[in-house]
Amino acid sequence: MFVAEAPGAVDGAPAATLRRRILVPVSAAFAVLIAVCAAGVRIPEALQYAPFVISLVAFGLPHGALDHLVPARLAGRAPTLRSIGGVVLLYAVLGAAVMAAWALAPAAAFVGFIAITWFHWGQGDLYVLLALDRAGYLCGSYKRQRMLRAAAITVRGALPMLVPLIAFPAVYAGVATAATTLFDPAAAGQLTAIIDPTVRAALAVGFAVLVVGYAVVTGVLAQRAGADSPRAWRRDLLEIVVLTAFFAVVPPVLAIGLYFCLWHAVRHIIRLEMLDEEARGSLRRGRLLPVAARFARDAAPITVIALVILVLFFVLLPPASGAGASLGVYLVLISALTLPHIVIVSLMDRRQQLWR
């Protein structure tokens, strides 16, 4: 499994601090919102978009703003122009390729964006399962281990990407329309199959089988692994239950925005800061504010550049009026940034031995 000596490993004290003071409170807040929405309380539409607005400057967009420093941090040395330049070139090439895909085939580009985000958000949760929870039930022979970890990524990524489609097809289609019609007004018509009741029913059955199968298999393996594995498995299963209910009940734009900021981005920021010795020292002492301030300072320059690019997108791809249309422009930018970001995170996975 994830070895303690690997870069970014989280030992006992920081892991307990992070779980108690960040991860558990976020899960609890999600549970409260589930109860509020299940009780029939209507969330004003303007408030539903608030997390995406906040994500421009806090957590969401900034969480990838240290990618240019990752190769050097993984190697345990100071960044150089060469290491930074390689990441900049990666972003330029892959970002341009994504934008070309949107221009040539916007419907396919939207589906591709959903697919890579499914993988990436599952990828982020896998790190936490291994580095913080020491999920021994995801270990075993090389082949079995890879299958188990691929299953964990599939399940975790399906929660924010698939459950809202099953529960809120009209909103899902609206978001797809907002993004694709920036390039081709007729492109949205190519995605009508995704909201077909028969397709969604099949997806719901497949999702249920996937989750139950994952829970049963990993539960048996957790009992066999012993040590902390049963406790880690219970946390894993509880988070899956909470997130399933969260995306099935909470309005999807609000749910995805909160998940992006408070779940995925925060967990990635934790991973980044665990590569820094000073940040690890602060976490061992239970001091979170210096870590947050250090990240905000380091992420600010690239975040500002990303915001400038977003403004250019609004000039070049003027949306129709309304928050939903503006969200479409933001999602196109996020898609262009996500693919190179996945390459950097996959480099982290390799260096931190998440697959062996």
The pLDDT score that the predictor gives to residue 118 is: 97
Residue 76 scores a pLDDT above 90: no
Contacts of residue 99, defined as CB under 8 A and 6 or more positions apart, other chains included, come to: 332, 336
Torsion of CA 300, 269, 328, 194, to 10 degrees: 170
Distance CA 279, CA 284 (A): 9
Distance CA 110, CA 104 (A): 12
Per-residue pLDDT, averaged over 277-283, amounts to 82
Query: C-alpha angle with apex 155: 150 to 161, nearest 5 degrees?
Result: 120
The pLDDT score that the predictor gives to residue 236 is: 96
Residue 2 scores a pLDDT above 70: no
Residue 4 scores a pLDDT above 70: no
Domain boundaries, the chain: 12-351
Query: 203: part of which helix (H) or strand (E)?
Result: helix 197-225
* Confidence category of residue 250, pLDDT binned at 50, 70, 90: very high
Per-residue pLDDT, averaged over 265-274, amounts to 92
Residue 5 scores a pLDDT above 60: no
Record the tokens describing residue 22, joined without a space.
């960040």
> How confident is the prediction for the chain on average, in pLDDT?
91
Per-residue pLDDT, averaged over 153-163, amounts to 97
User: 2-29 as b/e, with b when 16 or more CB fall inside 10 Å?
Assistant: beeebebbbeeebbebbbeebbeebbee
Q: Which of 159, 130, 352, 151 is nearest to 244 (CA)?
A: 159
Record the tokens describing residue 60, joined without a space.
């969401």
Residue 12 scores a pLDDT above 80: no
DSSP state letters, 281-315: HHHHTT--HHHHHHHHHHHHHHHHHHHHHHHHHHH
Chain segment 47-70, per-residue pLDDT in tens: 999 999 999 999 999 999 999 999
Chain segment 294-351, per-residue pLDDT in tens: 999 999 999 999 999 999 999 988 887 788 889 999 999 999 999 999 999 999 999 9
Residue 216 scores a pLDDT above 90: yes
